[in-house]
Amino acid sequence: MEVVVLEKTKKRLVFELHGMDNTFCNVLKKELQYDEDVSIATYAIKHPLIGIPKFIIETKGTSPKEALLSAIERLQGKNKEFLTKFKRQAKK
């Protein structure tokens, strides 16, 4: 995955996620929307087969970069929890 920042201001971050598709983008978007400081979290892919996801994050309080990093940390925690539970069930 390659992240290309297109626009970065105090309250707005626009970036492309090369090598990603709707699956990852939907999860990230949803996690960002849980954050009360995030006013907009969305993305678009111009062409479903060859398009590059373009993310837009706008915030009210915290910086968009901090909101993104927090969302990533929460997702890492959820993935770790899922893996632990899955391994526990697989042993049964």
- Count of domains forming the chain: 1
pLDDT for position 35: 96
pTM of the model: 0.86
pLDDT for position 61: 87
CATH of the domain at 81: 3.30.1360.10
Range of the domain at 40: 2-90
pLDDT for position 63: 95
DSSP string, the chain: -EEEEEEE-SSEEEEEEET--HHHHHHHHHHHHT-TTEEEEEEE-SSTTT---EEEEEESSS-HHHHHHHHHHHHHHHHHHHHHHHHHHHT-
pLDDT tens figures, 24-81: 999 999 999 999 999 999 999 998 778 899 999 999 989 999 999 999 999 999 999 9
Q: How confident is the model at residue 92 (pLDDT cuts 50, 70, 90)?
A: confident
